[in-house]
Amino acid sequence: MAGQDGTCPSSLRSRPSLIWLSGRRRFSAPNSAADVLLCDTGVLLAAGNVKDHAHQTCLRLLRQADEPLLVPSPVLGEIGYLLQSRVGPQAEVTFLKSFGDDGFEIAELEDHDIQRMAELVETYVDLPLGLVDAAVIAIAEHPPHMAGSETGIRGLATGRTWSNTLP
């Protein structure tokens, strides 16, 4: 059952700035695709919404990750809107307070990513892929969080596994 602010009651035992991330997480600077976890909207929404069927799984994934948790900047607007409209405004506050220290970090787009996003959205127009998912893929393709053939990117709009072989 969710607390008054829409968060999972078990999360409230954590530090206020890391409500979704239990305790201090330790990691070194990333140096390969396996060293970061690039978070898309789906996993963040499920982690922040106790009513979501994947809540516990996503919360556990984020809490147990040893690597830095990167949130692509375009995901912020999407997750903010969805948390506010589906869970409530306090869920947005909780999410935002989970940045910094050993919590979430922002992964920014680079100028060349916009062209790549256009290519992806055009290629997968039948899905539709969408701007935010295209941004997640574009960010994953450049170091230090480039998607390798072994890791790929999981959990985008269709639930397919994407790899660095995308056109």
pLDDT one-digit tens code per residue, 91-149? 999 999 999 988 999 999 999 999 999 999 999 999 889 999 999 999 988 765 544 32
Using a CB cutoff of 8 Å and minimum separation of 24, what contacts does 53-59 make?
55/8, 59/8, 59/11, 59/20
Q: Would you place residue 150 in the very low, low, confident or very high pLDDT band (cuts 50, 70, 90)?
A: very low
Output the CA torsion sign for 60, 65, 68, 71: negative
pLDDT, mean of residues 75-80: 96
pLDDT value, residue 102 = 82
Structural contact between residues 131 and 117, judged by C-beta atoms closer than 8 angstroms = yes
| Residue 135, number of CB atoms within 10 A of its CB | 24
Q: Would you place residue 5 in the very low, low, confident or very high pLDDT band (cuts 50, 70, 90)?
A: very low
Sole residue written with tokens 């916009």? 114
Greater pLDDT, 27 or 69: 69
Sole residue written with tokens 């996993």? 43
pLDDT value, residue 131 = 94
CATH of 32-149, one of 3.30.9.10, 2.60.40.10, 3.40.309.10, 3.40.50.1010: 3.40.50.1010
- Residue-wise pLDDT for 154-167, tens only, equals 333 333 444 444 45
The two tokens of residue 144 are 């230090």
Q: Which amino acid would we find at residue 50?
A: V
C-alpha distances (whole Å) from 69 to each of 36, 54, 90, 100, 103 are 6, 18, 21, 10, 7
Of all residues in the chain, what percent carry a pLDDT higher than 90? Answer: 51
Of all residues in the chain, what percent carry a pLDDT higher than 70? Answer: 65
